[in-house]
Amino acid sequence: GNSVTQMEGPVTLSEEAFLTINCTYTATGYPSLFWYVQYPGEGLQLLLKATKADDKGSNKGFEATYRKETTSFHLEKGSVQVSDSAVYFCALIQGAQKLVFGQGTRLTINP
Amino acid sequence: GAGVSQSPSNKVTEKGKDVELRCDPISGHTALYWYRQRLGQGLEFLIYFQGNSAPDKSGLPSDRFSAERTGESVSTLTIQRTQQEDSAVYLCASSPAGVGYYEQYFGPGTRLTVT
C-alpha cells in the first residue's frame, strides 16, 4: 500500500540556518504530495503541495520538489526563523482522497 | 470565517467506557474525514464521508469504532468499550468536495486518554 517515510526528529537548528527535512514515499501511480505543519497549540495546516512530477510547491519561504525518479519530496528553507518551530508532516493522496501521512518531524529553532 | 471545530478538546475516560467525539465541519464542505494520531506516530485515516454516499470505513481499526454524519453537517465518532491503545489525538478535517483534490482543513483535535 501507499506509505510515507520522513526524517526522524527532533531537529534543532539555530536561527538563519538551512533546513532540510527528508521525505520519501511509496505509491503506485502518481500521487499528489503535501507538507502539513502543526504549530504549537494550533491545528494542522497545509504548507505546500505538488500534484505532478517536477512540480515545486512553495510557501512562506519553504520549498519542496516532487521527484518521481527518487520518489522524494524533501522540504527545504534557506533561512529558518524561531517562528518556524513546529511539527512538519509529509503526506500523499491518491484515489479516494485519504491522506497518508509520515510520522512527523518536530523542528525547534533557537534564537 | 469559522474553521473546523471539535469537542471536547480533552477527554479522559476509564477503560471499558464509551466515548463520543464531535466534529463541526466548515459550512458547505461536503467531505469530512476522521484521523487518529497516536503518540510519536503519524496520522492514520479512520473514515471518510462524502455527501450522501456510503462512507469509506476502511481505516476503522475495530468494530468498537463507528461514526455518523448527518447530511453535510456534524459528525460524531464513537468508541465503545475503550481500551488504553485508543489513547490518541483524534482529528477531523473537511474539504469542499471529494472528487479531485481539495485542501483538507483540520480541526484542533480531541485528545483522548484512556486510563
Query: Chain A within 8 Å of B1 (Cβ-Cβ)?
Result: no
| A10 cis-preceded (ω within 30 degrees of 0) | yes
pLDDT reported for residue B99: 55
pLDDT reported for residue A40: 86
Determine the 3-state secondary structure of A21 from DSSP: strand
**Closest partner CB to B91 (pick from A32, A44, A46):** A44
Which chain B residues are within 8 Å of A49, Cβ to Cβ?
Answer: 103
Which chain A residues are within 8 Å of B33, Cβ to Cβ?
Answer: 97-99
pLDDT reported for residue B1: 58
Residue A80 has pLDDT above 60, yes or no: yes
**Closest partner CB to A97 (pick from B31, B43, B108):** B31
pLDDT reported for residue B53: 86
A97 to B4: CB separation less than 8 angstroms, yes or no = no
pLDDT reported for residue B74: 95
**Closest partner CB to B42 (pick from A32, A97, A102):** A102
Stretches where chain B sits below pLDDT 50 are: none
CA distance A60 to chain B (A): 17
B101 to A89: CB separation less than 8 angstroms, yes or no = no
pLDDT, tens digit (0-9, with 9 covering 90-100), for A7-66: 888 999 999 999 999 999 999 888 999 999 999 888 889 999 999 999 999 999 999 999
> What is the pLDDT averaged over residues A90-97?
80
Which chain B residues are within 8 Å of A99, Cβ to Cβ?
Answer: 33, 35, 43, 45, 104
B7 DSSP β-pair partners: B22
Extract the C-alpha cell encoding B40: 510519536
Q: Quick check: B74 and B7 in contact, CB under 8 A?
A: no
Residue A67 has pLDDT above 60, yes or no: yes
B45 to A51: CB separation less than 8 angstroms, yes or no = no
Which chain A residues are within 8 Å of B60, Cβ to Cβ?
Answer: none
Q: How far is CA A9 from CA A51, A77, A107, B41, B54, in A?
A: 26, 17, 7, 12, 38
Q: Return the number of CB contacts < 8 Å for A and B.
A: 54
CA angle B102, B108, B114 (to 5 degrees): 125
Q: Residue B47 and residue B57: Cα distance in Å, rounded? A: 5
